[in-house]
Homo-oligomer: A and B are copies of this chain.
Amino acid sequence: MRPLGVRVDDWLKDSDEVGPSWLTVDLAIFTVRDDQLMVLLVERGLEPFYGMPAMPGGYVQKNETLREGALRELAEEAGIDGSRLHLEQLGTYADPGRDPRGRVVTVAYLALGPDLPAPVGGTDATRAFWAPVAHVEDGRLGLAFDHRAILTEALEEVRRKLEYTAAATAFCGETFTLTDLRTVYQVIWGQQLDPSNFRRKVLNTTGFVQPTGEQWLPPTGRPAALYRRGQAWLLNPPLMRAETPGQQS
């Protein structure tokens, strides 16, 4: 399982210094479930790191774009149809030594989705499951490769995206109440928001949400209006979170 057997003939004049690499995608897929931010993990079914949790991903095939590869791996490893998720490139990790098999370049994708069906294991992964990000952040759950570092960067990106874009709607279903949307912010930012002020800010931001005219009847309490996401992606003004006291830089 090492890249032996590979020869590069006369590829470049200075080719001693340049070698082939293998291209993979990894997906950081988040959802909000049970008032917790969850990330999709698989238990690896191959060496290296056999049996260890990892983000879903795998090799990009010859005639695929990166996005196509990401969607295929998502379907294969977790049985999830990603065509309705928000999928976005996060960054590329290529440090020599990050993969014991050689120069493996991985492009990390960020995906946000509503509370998705319980994932099922596929071919390369024996098991797929949702894990609370808190368990990874505090080290209770170890990940293969450099996936913990990737996840940390993905989390920062998600938290920032909530401020400046309508990304929060990607965590909700087709239609949602403002309380649903507010819950997303509260869970991801870990702080309470005033329902009344939240409502005013969201409705005053043109193109953020769009009323459907329908209502949702909760088990108890007043019925809530339903909305769907608007056409705007960038929010201005942004929905800033209150600066947690003691934060620097």
Contacts and interface: CB of A to CB of B under 8 A. Distances in A.
A96 interface: yes
A236 B248 CA distance: 11
Interface stretch (A35-43, A86-94, A126-134): A86-94
Chain A binding site: helix, strand, loop or mixed by DSSP?
A: loop
Nearest to A2: B11
A207 interface: yes
A213 to B, nearest CB: 23
B20 A6 contact: yes
Contacts of A9: 4-6
A140 interface: no
A7 B10 contact: no
A214 interface: no
Given A5-B7, A23-B94, A62-B96, A243 B233 contact: no
Q: How many protomers of this protein does the assembly include?
A: 2
Contacts of A63: 96
A233 B207 contact: no
A164 interface: yes
Contact of A18 (B6, B8, B60): B60
Interface residues of A, number: 47
A12 to B, nearest CB: 7
Given A21-B105, A243-B236, A96 B64 contact: yes
A68 B18 CA distance: 14
Contacts of A12: 59
A155 to B, nearest CB: 15
Nearest to A107: B92
Interface of A: 3-12, 17-23, 59-66, 89, 91-92, 94-96, 103, 105, 107, 164, 207, 231-234, 236-238, 240, 243, 248-249
